[in-house]
Amino acid sequence: MESKKEIYRPHAYQQYATDFILTHPISAVILFLGAGKTVITLTAIERLMYDSFDVSKVLIVAPLRVAKVTWKDEITKWQHLQHLTYAVAVGSVKERMAALRQQADITIINRENLQWLIEKSRMPFDYDMVVLDELSSFKSWQSKRFRAFLKVRPKVRRIVGLTGTPAPNSLMDLFAEFKCLDMGERLGRFITQYRSTYFMPDKTNGQVVYSYKPLPGAADAIYEKISDITISMKAMDHLKMPELISNRYPVYMDEDESNKYETMKKDLILPYQDEDDITAANAASLSGKLCQMANGAVYADNGDVVRIHDKKLDALEDLIEAAQQPMLVCYWYQHDLSRIEERLQQLKVAYSRISTEASIRNWNDGKYQVGLIHPASAGHGLNLQKGGNIIVWFALNWSLELYEQTNARIWRQGQKASTVVVQHIITAGTIDERIMKALEKKERTQTALIDAVKAELEG
């Protein structure tokens, strides 16, 4: 039996964003995570297709899980979208071709298969509107998907770029993202032109430039260039969001465990067995090893998992007992997952990895006490707010984008709880503390970009 469709009652900012897409053939919609970018865009598509007859065929390019679940869920959820037909072109070549042949109003494809669609499917690229969700997936001007898309970009009359994190790490990322939208009209057609206009060499070795930094005033100049096609609002400015509570749960290694950590940090090597050690080749490798050790285990050179401590597992057990309600737990390394699963089995806790369509639905239906999630696969677009309001970071990583995107799976519109709790298990005296500080510091740069092109609502 088909569930009853819901009536869409947009917030003022959602209506504003939809109208922006309708009146701007090129639009970058930068909205705070959880603000409803999907239904905003689908509402615009429905009106362009069935009211003004301005478009006839739409392609949506999204991360895999978002392509498989989120867009079709939103299309089938809302009453005003009932006219839209859709096809999801993911999976095997046979499955993708079957979807393309449906000639639906909306074709949804995962970003990894965009190049295949353009260069290998042998199907005409006759989409008059394209939605790039997530726009930051096109930040590399050297990537195959970027180059493939530019081949067909002139055929597209309307384009929408959606993101919550337009430049998560660098203003340099904006070049490729906005070239996908306006073919280089605002920030230049070539990366060399963009770099020479807005940046200066930072780290160099003779004639070799390893990194660039913005020239004085460059950020404001870039924001001004893109402001006419960009809408940016923080949902918290226009929507009553749940209170976000961020806590640190420190754990402490004993003397022997700390000595192993310091040995690794100082010598880049930790003796393990007669012929196998744990070594770090460089600073990046050392960072990874120290992160693993802070979590409680580390890979040896021969692939063995060497246990260092169980302090984070004990803390997680305490948090589960104290909460007595569902929680998402973020892991990073495979041995994190294995050790967490082992502990949850001992505790006889109902849990699952949140990695499939079925597990997402089961989580939202309240069937798990613990949902295990990897930030790299929990990113853009997954709606997990119905299953709980607590997220625990068992393992931290350096990516601000993954950190914010994962938190936004539950701290978003539709969260019924009045508060969302983000709990960080931090091993004292380790790299955990530095990562936490770096994530907090980077947030200011991203906020500056979002604020710079912020839309002003009248009334």
> DSSP readout, 284-319?
HHHHHHHHHHHHTEEE-TTSPEEE---HHHHHHHHH
Averaged pLDDT, 304-318? 92
pLDDT of res. 203: 84
- pLDDT tier, 414 (very low <50, low <70, confident <90, very high otherwise): confident
H or E element: which one contains 130? strand 129-133
- pLDDT tier, 281 (very low <50, low <70, confident <90, very high otherwise): low
pLDDT of res. 415: 85
- Return the ∠ at Cα 375 (arms to 370 and 377), rounded to 5°: 95
pLDDT of res. 459: 33
Averaged pLDDT, 171-175? 91
| Contact status, residue 354 vs residue 328, Cβ threshold 8 Å | yes
- pLDDT tier, 457 (very low <50, low <70, confident <90, very high otherwise): very low
Which residue did the predictor score with more confidence, 346 or 11? 346
Tell me the C-alpha distance between 98 and 103, whole Å: 10
Q: Reply yes or no on whether the pLDDT at 279 is more than 80.
A: no
Count of CB atoms within 10 A of residue 224's CB?
Answer: 12
Q: Reply yes or no on whether the pLDDT at 169 is more than 90.
A: no
Averaged pLDDT, 41-53? 96
Tell me the C-alpha distance between 101 and 430, whole Å: 54
Q: Reply yes or no on whether the pLDDT at 450 is more than 60.
A: no
Averaged pLDDT, 244-258? 90
Query: How many residues are recorded in the chain?
Result: 459
Q: Reply yes or no on whether the pLDDT at 417 is more than 60.
A: yes
pLDDT of res. 235: 58
Q: Reply yes or no on whether the pLDDT at 446 is more than 80.
A: no
Tell me the H-state helices in 131-272. Answer: 144-152, 174-182, 191-198, 218-226, 235-238, 255-267
Closest CA to 242 of 422, 393, 445: 422
- pLDDT tier, 2 (very low <50, low <70, confident <90, very high otherwise): low
Indicate the Cα dihedral angle 45, 47, 50, 56, nearest 10°. -30
3-class secondary structure for 393-442?
Answer: ECCCCCCHHHHHHHHCCCCCCCCCCCEEEEEEEEECCCHHHHHHHHHHHH
Q: Rounded to 5 degrees, what are φ and ψ at 393?
A: -90, 100
Count of CB atoms within 10 A of residue 419's CB?
Answer: 12
Averaged pLDDT, 76-86? 94
Over the stretch 219-228, which tens digit does the pLDDT of each residue have? 899 999 999 9
pLDDT of res. 1: 43
Q: Rounded to 5 degrees, what are φ and ψ at 383?
A: -100, 105
Which residue is associated with the tokens 């260069």?
A: 119
| Contact status, residue 13 vs residue 457, Cβ threshold 8 Å | yes
| Contact status, residue 327 vs residue 371, Cβ threshold 8 Å | yes
Q: Reply yes or no on whether the pLDDT at 448 is more than 60.
A: no
Q: Reply yes or no on whether the pLDDT at 119 is more than 80.
A: yes
Task: Kindly state the DSSP code that residue 386 receives in the 8-state scheme.
Answer: T
Q: Reply yes or no on whether the pLDDT at 133 is more than 80.
A: yes
pLDDT of res. 449: 52
- pLDDT tier, 233 (very low <50, low <70, confident <90, very high otherwise): low
Percent of the chain with pLDDT over 70: 88
Percent of the chain with pLDDT over 90: 57
Q: Reply yes or no on whether the pLDDT at 120 is more than 60.
A: yes
Kindly list the distances between the CA atom of residue 3 and the CA atoms of 7, 79, 325, in Å, as whole numbers in the listed order: 13, 11, 27
Averaged pLDDT, 129-153? 93
Which residue did the predictor score with more confidence, 200 or 287? 200
pLDDT of res. 36: 84
Going along the chain from its start, the domains and CATH numbers come out as: 12-239 (3.40.50.10810), 243-448 (3.40.50.300)
Averaged pLDDT, 92-105? 96
Indicate the Cα dihedral angle 340, 343, 347, 350, nearest 10°. 30
Over the stretch 366-392, which tens digit does the pLDDT of each residue have? 999 999 999 988 755 678 989 999 999
The token pair at 248 is 């640190």
Over the stretch 385-412, which tens digit does the pLDDT of each residue have? 899 999 999 999 888 888 988 998 898 8
Tell me the C-alpha distance between 241 and 35, whole Å: 10
Averaged pLDDT, 188-195? 93
Q: Reply yes or no on whether the pLDDT at 316 is more than 50.
A: yes
- pLDDT tier, 234 (very low <50, low <70, confident <90, very high otherwise): low
| Contact status, residue 180 vs residue 187, Cβ threshold 8 Å | no
Residues ≥6 apart with Cβ < 8 Å to 176: 138, 139, 140, 141, 143, 146, 191
At position 303, the amino acid (one-letter code) is G
Indicate the Cα dihedral angle 312, 393, 391, 14, nearest 10°. 180
pLDDT of res. 197: 94
Q: Reply yes or no on whether the pLDDT at 442 is more than 90.
A: no
Tell me the C-alpha distance between 80 and 328, whole Å: 33
Tell me the C-alpha distance between 117 and 148, whole Å: 9
| Contact status, residue 297 vs residue 335, Cβ threshold 8 Å | yes
Residues ≥6 apart with Cβ < 8 Å to 216: none
pLDDT of res. 405: 87
- pLDDT tier, 357 (very low <50, low <70, confident <90, very high otherwise): confident
Average pLDDT of the chain, as a whole number: 87
What is the reported pTM? 0.71
